[in-house]
Chain A
Amino acid sequence: MKNRQPAYRDETASSSRSADSPLATSTRNLKKRVPFAFAALGAVLALSACGGAVHADSASGPTGEPVSGGTLVYATGDTEPACLDPIVSGNVPQALVSTQYLEPLFFQDEKGEIGPWLAKDWKWSKDRLALDITVRQDVHFTDGQQLNAETIVENVAYIKDPQTLSSTGILAVEKVASVEKIGEFTARLHLSEPDNALLEHFAQVWVPIQSQKALARGAEANCLSPVGTGPFKVESWSKQQEVVLTRNDEYHTPSPAAGHAGPAYLEKIVWRFLPDHAARFAALQSREVDVIDVLQPQNAVAADADPALDTLIGSRPGHVVNLTFNTTTGPLTDVRVREAFVRSVDVNAALKSIFMSTVPRSNSVLSSITKFNRQNPEAYSTDVDKANRLLDEAGWTERDSEGYRTKDGQRLSTTVIQNDSILVPVSVLEQFQNSAKAVGFELIISQEEPASFNARRYAWEYGLSPLYYTKNSPSVLNIVYDSSHIPSVIKGGYHANNNGLIGSSANDIDKALRLAATTGNEKQRGQQYAKAQQLVDAQYLSLPIFDQQTRLGFRSDVEGVALLSPLGMPTFYDTWLDRS
């Protein structure tokens, strides 16, 4: 791309994990050590002072002017969405694809700052119970419908409609009591209580702005062909095969992080579903596809050694990939047993061996790119002696014939459920099983199909479960750890993320989280989230493992691949094929 002024950084700094180093784990082509560039570029430099996308160039750099046209074939290793509209349910597979055709009201940069996108202005009332949002007047959806105040009213109503079966979206507008049109292009949101995360919610692709005309068709039709303002539009969807996206030739609303203006370069994107990791990487190697996601560590190592391939890896915000303890039943109701498990396993050894050191360790329940994350390595370090001591204290002092600890004739045993889509491979659990056995703790691994995995999770039929929750706000803690969410398994919802902790510790956590969500003081918000994390750490409600990541592998003649803030989803708006 012409006039690029990439901001270089050393990938070895990826272990830096403070909130000041956003997307710290984003790496590209480690072996060649070619740094990645942020997107504040060239002509649009002035518009994008804060950046917000992680871009990748080939090792030699683009060879010339971006070329318009061509078809990009993307193969996802994530599951196929049941609906292309991310309001319905609301999960990562939907976010991956819908980032290409839907856009939200606000843009949130990698520092967490909110800026305009489809909304050009916003204003809070003094009591912070009303928010006026003014949208751009020059935007039309791909079905011709103009964006206006009515659009916001209809979008919020659609999310809140129980028939829509929204999960992520409905939690995002939980505090929005009503919406009224107060001008042609201005809508007023009335809140039941102040919500510090509301603007962040409206910066997610899970709360996009869709054509009210399209929404009126009903959820079923909208699922097949949602209509937004994005650089591409949904052309067709052959289930279990591919979604075809074509260029929106009228496009003129790029995010502040974009590298150019006007329509996208690519004419078409074919979005394929290839869940088998080995087959997907083989398809990339054989030029059958241009870009793949869920790039496995061993394949990232192989891609780095291959001059025809590049990689782009970036952290996603939210609750990290972790093993969540079910605190409602069995030995894990005892915090000493939970800590003993955490102390007995060696997460670092697993990341070094199985992930080939391509994934940094997380010592926080919040992702390293999420505001107010608090790394606590002391709490989550391996300490086998302490594990043994804690289990002795907890009364698990006898041993059975297989060497496992027992109490009152019961073996110290728990079950972890596993499904590959939750990013914790079974081999990691095997290592944990082995380490836990050394302190007399039996860990049974139960591999599940996606449906049975979710069924067991919703029914609380597990001791440990690998989980994560992608969200561009520390308020993800309110969803995961506020005890008021314990019974709120939303019908048709994707996540039931809570551990079931009750009692005085739960009350303290709730108090901190609720204050953090409503205070008008940003500093106090930070303090309360820090306190909540401290309490969560002390209760050992989960074992953080690593940041969720978007892991792309692509042909090196694919230029301008980028990850878009705040969710770190791939965006192909600036992408072009250097195949002349």
Chain B
Amino acid sequence: MNTHEDLPTIITDLEEAMTQGTQTAVIESPSGQVPPALPGNRPGTIVAGGIRRLGRGLGPGIIVPLVFLLGLIAAAVIPSVLAPSGPLDMNPAEAFTAPGAAHWFGTDESGRDVFSRVIHGARSSLLIGVLATAIGLGLAVVLGAVAGLGTRAVDFGVSRFLEVLFAFPGLLLALLVITILGPGVVTTTIAVGLSAAPGYARMIRSQVRSVRGSGYVEASIVQGRSRAFIIRHHILPNVAAPLFVLGTLGVGQAIVWASSLSFLGLGATPPDPEWGSMLSLGRLYIGNAWWLTVFPGLFIVLSAATTTLLGHGIQRKLKDK
């Protein structure tokens, strides 16, 4: 599973992948004209190309998580269509009903339908996962680019700063942020994003530095290209592909972190149906009503595993290329 403990391994994998063959050079003609970019040189085309390539060699290892992910997205977009009742609809008379035909995942201590709450919980979990990853990656691109393109002193400063942040385990950093900002879904999203940023930033910095030292960038500098031009035409296209992989892997990790924080009572507030907080409450009844922990837990595991499998799938495809 893609938890924060796995992060160093993922980082190593990715760094390896990046240095092995995901770099794409934009070769400039002596006249200074930039030829049409090769397919896959721009973020949009890389993604589209990646999906096309994926489509050609899909195995069950990709299809199953993809289908599950699409299901989750559907749950996040149209929960009311998929869930038989509202996430907050109570019926104390039916409390602790075991899973069955009437309630697929059983009911909780207030008689709320667990299946409906899990479905409705997909939205907040996915949203936190995606937004937190976006925050983390966004911040990482800025930090990584500053370090990778800056002077030696700037690189040194940013790198040491990242190392200091690395000294804190990600979840601890998130706890620190929540202690300062206060609990809640928005805070959790920001906290998870900020905590993931140092890991991403270090990878992006090394990628940027490697591209920066390449012959085509040197050629571009000799030709007097502006820094903005170089970033736009050389650096970003080369960073985009690993960023996409990183993002896919990061979503799963962010979901787990966000759930962990909610589990600790620092994320979603009651009675919001959030998987982590459902798991936390269900834990009290683990000896009496196993379904209160098993189903939210299963969805946390499956959503994290899904995005991780997809991320690794994409990573393999890029490696193959």
Contacts and interface: CB of A to CB of B under 8 A. Distances in A.
Given A353-B111, A430-B270, A431-B110, A298 B287 contact: yes
Given A353-B111, A431-B92, A431-B110, A426 B270 contact: yes
Contact of B285 (A298, A426, A445): A298
A273 B92 CA distance: 33
B72 to A, nearest CB: 25
A447 B270 contact: yes
Contacts of A427: 108-110, 270, 281
A427 B108 CA distance: 10
Given A298-B288, A427-B110, A431-B110, A278 B283 contact: yes
A430 B90 CA distance: 9
A301 B108 CA distance: 16
A348 B219 CA distance: 79
B284 interface: yes
Contacts of B95: 352-354
A405 to B, nearest CB: 19
A346 B90 CA distance: 12
Interface string B77-109: 000000000001010110110000000000011
Given A278-B284, A299-B287, A434 B90 contact: yes
A455 interface: no
B61 to A, nearest CB: 36
Given A352-B92, A445-B269, A430 B283 contact: no
A364 B270 CA distance: 29
B51 interface: no
A354 B265 contact: no
Contacts of B269: 445, 447
Given A278-B283, A427-B281, A445-B270, A349 B92 contact: yes
B8 interface: no
B67 interface: no
B63 interface: no
A433 interface: yes
A352 B94 CA distance: 10
A174 to B, nearest CB: 39
A292 to B, nearest CB: 14
A564 B287 CA distance: 31
User: Chain B's interface: helix, strand, loop or mixed, by majority?
Assistant: loop
Interface in B3-37: none
B60 interface: no
Interface in A326-368: 346, 349-350, 352-354, 356
B287 A302 contact: yes
A108 interface: no
Given A298-B285, A301-B288, A302-B288, A447 B265 contact: yes
A371 B288 CA distance: 37
Contact of B93 (A298, A301, A349, A426): A349
By size class, the interface of chain B is 20 to 34
Contacts of A354: 92, 95, 109-110
B224 interface: no
B286 interface: yes
A239 B95 CA distance: 39
Nearest to A285: B287
Interface string B266-283: 000111000000000101
Contacts of A429: 270
A296 B285 CA distance: 9
B288 A277 contact: no
Contacts of A277: 284
A278 B270 CA distance: 20
Interface string B111-137: 100000000000000000000000000
B110 A353 contact: yes
Interface in A421-443: 426-427, 429-431, 433-434
Give chain A's interface residue range (CB within 8 Å of chain B).
20 to 34
A434 B283 CA distance: 23
Contacts of B283: 278
A346 B110 CA distance: 12
Contact of A433 (B271, B281, B285): B271
A281 B284 CA distance: 10
Interface in B176-203: none
Nearest to A299: B287
Given A278-B284, A302-B287, A430 B271 contact: yes
Contacts of A353: 92-93, 95-96, 109-111
Interface in B249-298: 265, 269-271, 281, 283-289
Nearest to B183: A447
Nearest to A435: B90
B266 to A, nearest CB: 10
B99 to A, nearest CB: 18
Contacts of B284: 277-278, 296, 298
B92 A346 contact: yes
A286 to B, nearest CB: 13
Contacts of B270: 426-427, 429-430, 445, 447
Contacts of A352: 92, 95
A278 B293 CA distance: 13
A460 B50 CA distance: 59
Contacts of A302: 287-288
A349 B281 CA distance: 19
Residue among A296, A298, A445 facing the most chain B CB atoms (10 A cut-off): A298
Contacts of A281: 287
Contacts of A350: 92
Interface in A278-306: 278, 281, 296, 298-299, 301-302
A66 to B, nearest CB: 32
B213 to A, nearest CB: 51
B288 A434 contact: no
Contacts of A433: 271
Contacts of A296: 284
A31 to B, nearest CB: 13
A350 B111 CA distance: 10
Given A298-B284, A431-B92, 20 more contacts: A277-B284, A281-B287, A296-B284, A298-B285, A298-B287, A298-B288, A349-B92, A352-B92, A353-B93, A353-B96, A353-B110, A354-B95, A356-B96, A426-B270, A427-B110, A427-B270, A430-B90, A430-B270, A434-B90, A445-B269
Interface of A: 277-278, 281, 296, 298-299, 301-302, 346, 349-350, 352-354, 356, 426-427, 429-431, 433-434, 445, 447
Enumerate the 10 nearest inter-chain pairs by beta-carbon distance, A residue then B residue, closest first.
A353-B95, A349-B92, A353-B92, A430-B271, A298-B288, A302-B287, A434-B90, A354-B109, A298-B285, A427-B109
8 contacts: A298-B289, A302-B288, A346-B92, A352-B92, A354-B95, A427-B270, A429-B270, A430-B110
